Amino acid sequence: MSEQGDAILSTDRDFVDLALAEVAGVMPGARLLARLDEAGWDSAVLLYAFPDTFWELAARWHAHPPIFIRHLNPVQASRPLPEGPNAVHALRATALDELAELMDPTLPFSIQTRILTDVDYGAYDVNNALSQALEATTGAPLDVRNPQQVLSVVIARYQGKVTGFLGLSPAAYNLSDWAGGKRRFAREKGQISRAEFKLLEALEVFGVPLPSRGVALDLGAAPGGWTRILRQKEQYVTAVDPAGLDPRLEADPDVRHKQMTAEEYLAGEPDQFDLIVNDMRMDARDSARLMVAYAPQLYRDGRALMTLKLPEENRENVIDHTFNILREAYEIVGARQLFHNRSEITVYLKRGR
């Protein structure tokens, strides 16, 4: 059985230092016990012991999400696992013996399994065995699409042994509905660029309200991935970029392409918008200054989404400086290092009053 405050946190491998700083900032006595991810894994998975309960940290981050921690779950039980299919049986027994009594039988649940080391069974095998056993034992309904409680299972090599870590929590306390924060979207036939996933994830994570037939401004739009997503959301789009757009967008009567720089467009007394988006490849501070200059072009209840490209060094100072610039004209509603971000974070803004 694990300590009361044990938890597993996930973050991008390139931002571990900033994730560790986030934990230390809200819970100074937290101890990093181990990194559970192995070479080739695309996320860093951190096993922590907290001086207080997992729930204190989870509640705080539920109200004010961190930037760099994508996902967290408690560890309420752990055990070394035997080899072969007996490992799944052992996980099933642990779930029934130590976690079934914690489940609310009236709430839908799901199992989320991550396997971080080489074993001869898969996540589906674990999910299937545990969900059947817990559904039969507790009466709680299985709902993998909209669970209200999640049993998280992480299988990793710890202290030289393949170990299973299990924890039950409200889905809302895990920061992400997706195991490890890995939000994946299906590639569409008409997709223009991978960058579309960034906007889709941002709209979902931040819950950005888009008005019916609203007007949006896409800065640095080419080749048009974000413009395509905004058109799917029934927004009229002004796309600003000196480069060309995808021919399908150029032919769309509800897309107005301004083939110029963002600075040139701003100088020409542009329209006002419900939403401004910015995924331009420029220094984060310069991009923030540009967004501040564009703030008067937002309606009073307008919103903005932008990515901040971060350098390899001095990133905390760059973020702090950039946020201070943005606060001249905006309220920073949220900032996250999303699964589809790379060396960047996404920031959600509301025009300041």
Query: What residues are annotated to the active site?
Result: 309
Structure tokens at 188: 């569409």
- Which of 173, 169, 154 has the alpha carbon at shortest distance from 78? 154
DSSP string, 36-71: ---TT-SEEEEEEE-SS-HHHHHHHHHHS--SS--E
Distance CA 191, CA 211 (A): 23
Distance CA 23, CA 171 (A): 20
Distance CA 223, CA 250 (A): 10
Structure tokens at 87: 């490992």
Structure tokens at 34: 């181990």
Given a contact cutoff of 8 angstroms between Cβ atoms, the answer to whether 114 and 131 are in contact is no
Q: Is the dihedral of CA 320, 322, 323, 325 positive or negative?
A: positive
Tell me the C-alpha to C-alpha distance, in Å, between residue 265 and each of 160, 221, 230, 290: 60, 13, 20, 12
What's the Rg (C-alpha) of the chain?
Answer: 22
